[in-house]
Amino acid sequence: MKKYFGGIFFIAMSTLALEIAVIRYFSIALWSNYGYMVISIALFGFGVSGTLLTLAKNWFEKRINLWMYIISLSAVPLAVLAYILMKKVPFNAMQIVNPSYTFTQLSNLALYFIILFFPFFFGGIYIGLAFIAHKKQVSKLYFFDLIGAGTGTLILLILMFIIPPAYLILPIIVFFFSGHILSIDYREIKKNIYIKMGISALVFAVSLVTISFNTKIEYVPQKSIRHTMSSINAKILATRYSPLGLLQIVKSTKERSAPGLSGMSYQMIGKMPDFLGVYVDGNQSSSVMAKLNGSTIDAVKYLPQVAPYLIKDKPGVLILGMGGARSLSVAYHAVRSMNFLDCLKDVWIKENIKIKLKELRKTYKHLNDELYEKHILKHNKTRIENEVNNEWNKVIKDEINRMEKLKPFLNKAYQLTVRKYENKMPSYIHAVELSGQLVELLKNQFSKFNGGILSKGGVRAFQADVRGYLRKSKQKYDIIEMSLALGGGMSSGGNLPSHENYLYTIHSIRDAFARLKKNGILSMTVDAKENLRDALRVFTTSIKALENMKNLKKKFFMFRTMTTATFLIKNGDFTANEIKKLTEFCKNNSFDASYYLGIDPNGNREIFNQEQGENFNVAETKVGPPGQMPVVTEKKEKDKNNILRYSLYKIAISKFVKGGYKEFIEKYPFKIGYVTDNNPYFSYRLKLSKTLKVLFTGKFSEVPYEETNYLILWLNFALAIFFGALIICIPLLKTLFNKKKEEAVSGGKLVLIGYFVCLGFGFLFVEMVLIQKLTLFLANPIYSTSLVLATILAVSGIGSYFSGKLSEKLGSSSKVLLLAVSIIAVMVVLYIFILDPIVRSLMFLPMAVKLIIAMVFIAPIAFFLGMPFPLGLHEVSEKREDFLPWAWGINGATSVASTPLATILSIGMGFKGVWVISILVYALAFFIFPGRLTLKKNKFILNMKL
Amino acid sequence: MKRKLIIFSAIFLISVIGFSFSERDRKRAIAHIVRHMKRWNIPNRITKAFWSVKREYFVQNRETGRWPSKRAAYSTRPLAIGYGQTISGTRMVAWMTYMSNPQPTDKILEIGTGSGFQSAILSYFGSKVYSIEIVRPLGLDAKKVHAKRGYSSKITTKVADGYFGWKKYAPFNKILVTCGTNHIPPALVRQLARGGTMIIPVGNPYGKQRMIVLKKDRMGRIKTRAYFADHFVPMTGRALQKFRRSRGR
């Protein structure tokens, strides 16, 4: 009989590679938080295949070679079809909250499950059949299966550097076909080998041609890249790809990015600089500011990010999350920009006086120099100076037409500013950026555009992840800038990337604070266009991070613009002079100084940017249906329902100053509490009670758009439960068609169900939390997902192989289970206590070393995680063989459902909470282990003795 | 044969009656829109304009050349007019008009002519309207529609990038921006007269945007007030089809 070692290797490899490729595709075309859905779907496919094989084993066994041929060949067009069809699903996450589209969009979400199910299902069937075909060589087959899975993940990670993400499917199709070629039994089917080879070649050729014409990435309508590219003359100037993401630099009229720009910027001399957009996985992440010159330098001083440079001379600056180096440009040019107008005035007056004096000299050219100076110049100089000064005032006031008069002097003024303020420039600027490709692009291809900002004296760009750099660096800084580091991603959690965010956590803020010099300033500008909750969450997190410091209230200065909020936190106390400078800056720019020591939050002062306001009573019950019209007259304080609306900032600050902030946070209808490394879900703000209420009442429109991410996670969970239930239903088919309904033995069913439910949840909880936790360590979800999946698959497989041998040695599978569960519990407890400190202290290491360390972390627990399932199966096959398909089904179903559930629980109780649950679940599994079932009068009874 | 002819004629007549849109229907549709506006406190002064300016003249999809039904034209929802642009829903037009409070003496700048409906509404109040559209075919078409329907004496349009405003006719008493940016263009504020008002949606153009009303006081200082944030969902082809089906097309 044909040995399917090669086939199993390639099929396992292609299935895993497909899983990772689809996760990548979802990250680009949808959002990365949908990646977990793909894991769920893959598990669903494997689950169904396992159950089906257990049920229809004999049926398949009869013509196994033919089935292997058909299934391995079908996998090729199925993968192609799934990949093409998944792009056609018109999923629009935004419409979930629109009652007329909720059902349609929910069906679209379910369509992903159905479409992507087939390739994984066929992959699962193939692997299962190979085991059936060679029962005696299971261990060897298993080895090839695992090695294939690991290789698939690794190869795809490597391919991500070489092949554009849209084309990643092509090699996967080749892998699938290689698996098929190696699955053909050339000896047994000699008769029609040529026909079969012909069919295979044809199917492969058609599949390859079809997929080649369908590689285009179909972005969902809300992806910023799609919107940007729809504008006239939009052009992608550079593209780079790696596992970190698809990086695109885009030129478009929509790239005018100046978040928080003051309304007073209309007074700027010159114009706004040009911008290029930096897009990562189709999301606008930051922008590249064009080289600043005389006609654009003045724009910088109207940005909120310049505030810390007002009170720090010659600062050493650290920019966290450099992106397209916009913040870096601001840091570099802040001093020049703030003094440019003075220099322009000097140049203009000087030049105009020169011109006037020349004219005067011309008028009196008949006089010699001595007479001219004595009688003419002496009397006219002051007059001319006054005249020119008055003229300057007139010119500067004529906002619309002044540029014509000022234009000839701009460059001279700029050069004067550069010369004059050379000694006030930042002494050094360090910028940290995770993407080496972006740093390289900015240094080379776009260096002309950005004026070579990265090559300026004192400027250094480090390719590292922010948290790792903060841990590694010994340098201290006067200003640390963490502004808009996540672009729009942070503020618009709704449907934008909303996976774990380790930048705005209390641990991150503490790490950043530790790098500040005495009296240094940590500056954070947060996007607050669409909702104000982000800003409050950063505020709460900062307060919590620094709660042990003395005089905390003296360390904060907060101001807000029309679209952003800026927090300045000083490693020392703000002085009265500094507060004066900052409040003046705010007043001049129409910004609102919301908090500083001594402010009366309820006092009467001029408000420049009035919020819409929130009503807390309404918000408790109805969190603002989208599209609801608020008050339309400005004079009224009350909205159309005659309910007073409150300024969110005003209330929060008032509570912070006068006490009761904690209670306010708790009472607020959304989660705006602090964020930790243990629960780094910044963008998930919908409270559990509200979510459940919406889910059960179906009033989706009560959820504001920016909070839909949590709701979608729950909907995903609901779908997973639905599909999980389908897996459980398959064994029912057997019961229906089974004619022999008498059972020799009964009882113990609940125990068996309980055991496999526990394993399904426990295993996935540990795995999912490891993926989420290692995202911090490996700085990217795709690295952590690939690594954890590959390692757990491979090592747990080895564990399951050894479980049988161990039980032979120890004499009882109960003992092996006790050993496995105890070690899992000990390891998880260790993770709870030591993983965080270890991860934080080793974050500075190079990526390759970190990958190896992560593997070492995972391997031991993965080994033991692989044991309980085969031990249980073994017991079931001995005691209640009829239950075997159920065991597979239940395990599959719970695995599918536990993927989104792990994330939901992590958001609710943090990673540590989920780990504690996994220990409890495994402990329960130990107590209800099928090995404990003892037969008494044809009925199984659970023996609870230890 | 005769029987078939009668049946076909009957079907034809029923569909003609069913789908026809008389002046009475138009009035009914507008009355419905006005009722909606009343709920948002839009005063009579503004709603009157909607009786006068016929929305059905502006709803043609310039890219495909197709006209949606008159019934669809009077729905409260936005409609696709081609080139990825939409004619705003009536409530948005009404709200923006209300906030700008157009007066006969006003010079109003509109950024994003689109279909030309908003500028036509503004011109109803006797204001002089200057409108800029970046999409050439849309800009040119709107100009034609204005000329054909007799609005061109009050409305001047040009095809250009609205970010830089229209310096030639500045300053403006009111500025209405109908497309989202992440900041308020300084050139537009510069071209806003002292004491003037600007209405602009600020936010992610591909997501939710917050309506901002900006006032420039006599001293040249800027004050803003945030209003509602709304979904500006791009009307995809599919959504449009669904919408048409629901309107009986």
B67 touches chain A (CB under 8 A): no
Nearest to A492 among B181, B207, B226 (CB): B207
Once rounded to an integer, what is the mean pLDDT over residues A136-146? Answer: 76
B40 touches chain A (CB under 8 A): yes
Once rounded to an integer, what is the mean pLDDT over residues A329-336? Answer: 94
Once rounded to an integer, what is the mean pLDDT over residues A429-433? Answer: 93
A402 touches chain B (CB under 8 A): no
B220 touches chain A (CB under 8 A): yes
Please answer yes or no on whether B183 and A94 come within 8 Å at the CB atom.
Answer: no
Nearest to B229 among A254, A257, A530 (CB): A530
Strands (E) across A788-910 are located at: none
Within 10 A of A549 (CB to CB), how many other CB atoms are there?
12
pLDDT digits (tens, 9 = 90+) for A822-870: 999 999 999 999 888 888 888 888 888 998 999 998 999 999 998 888 8
B38 touches chain A (CB under 8 A): no
Probe site for chain B from A256, A275, A303, A399 (most B CB atoms < 10 A)? A399
Both tokens of B107, joined, read 């010079």
Probe site for chain B from A287, A530, A592 (most B CB atoms < 10 A)? A530
Nearest to B227 among A302, A494, A612 (CB): A612
Give the pLDDT confidence score for residue A937 in this predicted structure.
61
CA distance A275 to chain B (A): 13
DSSP type of residue A819 = H
Please answer yes or no on whether A221 and B95 come within 8 Å at the CB atom.
Answer: no
Residues in chain A within 8 Å Cβ distance of B171: 400
Give the pLDDT confidence score for residue A631 in this predicted structure.
31
Percentage of chain A modeled with pLDDT above 70: 89
Residues in chain B within 8 Å Cβ distance of A258: 182-183
Within 10 A of B73 (CB to CB), how many other CB atoms are there?
23
Q: What is the edge-to-edge ordering of all strands in the sheet holding A275-280?
A: A235-242, A245-251, A275-280, A283-289
pLDDT digits (tens, 9 = 90+) for B17-46: 544 567 777 788 888 878 877 777 778 888
Residue B172 phi/psi, 5-degree rounding, is -110, 145
Both tokens of A243, joined, read 């596992």
Pick from A427-431, A769-773, A887-891: least confident: A887-891
CA distance B191 to chain A (A): 7
**Which of A553, A564, A557 shows the shortest CA–CA distance to A583?**
A557
Give the pLDDT confidence score for residue B201 in this predicted structure.
86
Cβ contact A302:A268 at 8 Å = yes
Probe site for chain B from A233, A267, A529 (most B CB atoms < 10 A)? A529
Please answer yes or no on whether B204 and A488 come within 8 Å at the CB atom.
Answer: yes
- How many whole angstroms from its chain centre is CA A66? 45
Q: Give the integer Cα–Cα distance in Å for B197 and A346.
A: 34
Residues in chain A within 8 Å Cβ distance of B229: 530-531, 612
pLDDT digits (tens, 9 = 90+) for A589-623: 999 888 888 888 777 778 888 776 654 433 332 33
Mean pLDDT of chain B: 79
Probe site for chain A from B36, B204, B218, B247 (most A CB atoms < 10 A)? B204
Give the pLDDT confidence score for residue A629 in this predicted structure.
33
Beta-carbon contacts below 8 Å between A and B? 168
Give the pLDDT confidence score for residue A258 in this predicted structure.
83
Cβ contact A438:A324 at 8 Å = yes
Once rounded to an integer, what is the mean pLDDT over residues A377-381? Answer: 84
When comparing pLDDT for B76 and A177, which is higher?
A: A177
Q: Give the integer Cα–Cα distance in Å for B143 and B146.
A: 5
| CA dihedral sign of residues A491, A493, A495, A498 | positive
B194 touches chain A (CB under 8 A): no
pLDDT digits (tens, 9 = 90+) for A76-104: 999 999 999 999 888 877 777 777 777 88
Task: Tell me which chain A residue has its CA closest to the CA of residue B227.
Answer: A612
Q: Which of residues 249-278 of A touch B (CB under 8 A)?
A: 253-254, 256-268, 271-272
Q: Give the integer Cα–Cα distance in Å for B4 and A589.
A: 77
Q: Which of residues 459-518 of A touch B (CB under 8 A)?
A: 488, 492, 494-496
Burial class (CB in 10 A: 0-12, 13-18, 19+), B241: exposed
Residues of B annotated as catalytic (active site), given as ranges: 88
Please answer yes or no on whether A221 and B208 come within 8 Å at the CB atom.
Answer: no
Once rounded to an integer, what is the mean pLDDT over residues A237-245? Answer: 90
Residues with Cβ < 8 Å from A551, sequence gap 6 or more? A573
Pick from A343-347, A645-649, B120-124: least confident: A645-649
Pick from A183-192, A292-301, A588-597: least confident: A183-192
Residue A4's pLDDT band (cuts 50, 70, 90): confident
Both tokens of B203, joined, read 């936010």
pLDDT digits (tens, 9 = 90+) for A102-140: 788 889 888 998 999 999 999 988 888 887 777 777 777
pLDDT surpassing 80 at residue A643? no
pLDDT surpassing 90 at residue A14? yes
Cross-strand partners of A940:
A935
Residues in chain A within 8 Å Cβ distance of B213: 634
pLDDT surpassing 90 at residue A928? no
Please answer yes or no on whether B208 and A530 come within 8 Å at the CB atom.
Answer: yes
First to last CA, chain A: 46
pLDDT surpassing 90 at residue B107? yes
CA distance B161 to chain A (A): 8
Nearest to B238 among A90, A94, A530 (CB): A90
Task: Tell me which chain B residue has its CA closest to the CA of residue A628.
Answer: B228
Please answer yes or no on whether B212 and A256 come within 8 Å at the CB atom.
Answer: no
Residues with Cβ < 8 Å from A251, sequence gap 6 or more? A233, A234, A235, A237, A276, A277
Coil vs helix vs strand at B86: strand
Q: Give the integer Cα–Cα distance in Å for A498 and A481.
A: 22
Nearest to A630 among B167, B208, B228 (CB): B228
**Which of A790, A782, A775, A759 shows the shortest CA–CA distance to A858?**
A790
pLDDT digits (tens, 9 = 90+) for A489-546: 333 333 334 567 788 899 999 999 999 999 999 999 888 776 678 888 899 999 999 9
Query: Which of A81-85, A655-659, B57-61 holds the top average pLDDT?
Result: A81-85
Residues in chain B within 8 Å Cβ distance of A88: none
Coil vs helix vs strand at A688: helix
pLDDT surpassing 50 at residue B149? yes
Residue A513 phi/psi, 5-degree rounding, is -65, -35
Please answer yes or no on whether A530 and B205 come within 8 Å at the CB atom.
Answer: no
Both tokens of B157, joined, read 């349009």
Please answer yes or no on whether A529 and B204 come within 8 Å at the CB atom.
Answer: yes
Both tokens of A939, joined, read 């009925």
Cis? peptide before B171, omega within 30° of 0:
yes
Residues in chain A within 8 Å Cβ distance of B39: 629, 640
Once rounded to an integer, what is the mean pLDDT over residues B165-194? Answer: 89
Residue A737's pLDDT band (cuts 50, 70, 90): low
Query: Which of A325-329, A366-370, B232-236 holds the top average pLDDT?
Result: A325-329
B90 touches chain A (CB under 8 A): no
Residue A65's pLDDT band (cuts 50, 70, 90): confident
Residues in chain A within 8 Å Cβ distance of B202: 529, 562-563
Give the pLDDT confidence score for residue A427 in this predicted structure.
93
Residue A624's pLDDT band (cuts 50, 70, 90): very low
Q: How far from A290 is each of A275, A295, A442, A482, A548, CA to CA, in Å?
A: 6, 12, 11, 21, 42
When comparing pLDDT for B151 and B8, which is higher?
A: B151
pLDDT digits (tens, 9 = 90+) for A693-717: 888 887 777 777 777 778 888 888 8
User: Residue with structure tokens 């390289």?
Assistant: A440
Q: Which of residues 381-400 of A touch B (CB under 8 A)?
A: 399-400
Residue B234's pLDDT band (cuts 50, 70, 90): very low
- How many whole angstroms from its chain centre is CA A808? 46
pLDDT digits (tens, 9 = 90+) for A677-691: 888 887 888 888 888
Percentage of chain A modeled with pLDDT above 90: 31
Both tokens of A386, joined, read 């006054």
Please answer yes or no on whether A221 and B167 come within 8 Å at the CB atom.
Answer: no
Query: Which of A98-112, A462-476, A737-751 holds the top average pLDDT?
Result: A462-476
Residues in chain A, overall count? 946
Give the pLDDT confidence score for residue B242 in this predicted structure.
38
Residue A98 phi/psi, 5-degree rounding, is -95, 110
Residue B247's pLDDT band (cuts 50, 70, 90): very low
When comparing pLDDT for A776 and A649, which is higher?
A: A776
Residue A945's pLDDT band (cuts 50, 70, 90): low
Percentage of chain B modeled with pLDDT above 70: 82
When comparing pLDDT for A375 and A854, which is higher?
A: A854
CA distance A582 to chain B (A): 18
**Which of A564, A713, A931, A881 shows the shortest CA–CA distance to A35?**
A713
Please answer yes or no on whether A494 and B207 come within 8 Å at the CB atom.
Answer: yes
Mean pLDDT of chain A: 83
B169 touches chain A (CB under 8 A): no
Please answer yes or no on whether A268 and B186 come within 8 Å at the CB atom.
Answer: yes
Give the pLDDT confidence score for residue A530 in this predicted structure.
64
Give the pLDDT confidence score for residue A645 in this predicted structure.
53
Give the pLDDT confidence score for residue A297 in this predicted structure.
93
Half-sphere exposure of residue A251, counting CA atoms within 13 Å on the CB side?
8
CA distance B11 to chain A (A): 31
Q: Give the integer Cα–Cα distance in Å for A570 and A832.
A: 32
Burial class (CB in 10 A: 0-12, 13-18, 19+), A945: exposed
Probe site for chain A from B95, B179, B183 (most A CB atoms < 10 A)? B183
Residue B248's pLDDT band (cuts 50, 70, 90): very low
